[in-house]
Amino acid sequence: MRGLWMIGAAALLTGCVSSPSLNGTMGAPSFASLQQMCSAQTVDYGNDAQGVYATLFDAYVANRRGKLSKDDYCAFQASLAQRYTSQGASADPQVRNQWVAFFTDQRAKALSWRAAVDPTLRAG
């Protein structure tokens, strides 16, 4: 009985902490809307879409709060799209690993921009 309760609690928590929908949530633009801020064309990031959405959203928050200019936001977005197209969509594991390394650095950069303007991301 206790095991079933633990499974139920874990399932409930998973639902609570999952990433926002790519269609946007209350107060958050959709993934397509974020991409269309800079270009009419959108990129299909495949299985990486959720991570890229979170990264672009963090950069968007920094943009909206004055830490990142629109030009810098769009350059950031274009660099992600270009590298994903050339490396992330590759079937070659070594090339794909280059995308992963690049994307990890970009994710950290976007988080640091957001942390600078969003007190909910700062310790203490």
Dump pLDDT digits (tens) for 32-70. 999 999 998 899 999 999 999 999 999 999 999 999 999
CA–CA distance, 113 with 107 (Å, rounded to integer)? 10
Q: Judge whether 87 and 67 are in contact, CB under 8 Å.
A: no
pLDDT category at 120 given cuts 50, 70, 90 is: confident
pLDDT at 112 over 80: yes
CA–CA distance, 44 with 47 (Å, rounded to integer)? 9
Residue boundaries of the structural domains of the chain: 22-121
Place of tokens 């928590």: 13
Question: pTM for the whole thing?
Answer: 0.78
Q: What is the pLDDT of residues 3-33, one digit of tens each?
A: 444 444 444 443 433 455 666 565 689 999 9
Give backbone dihedrals phi and psi of 83, rounded to 5 degrees, phi first: -70, -35
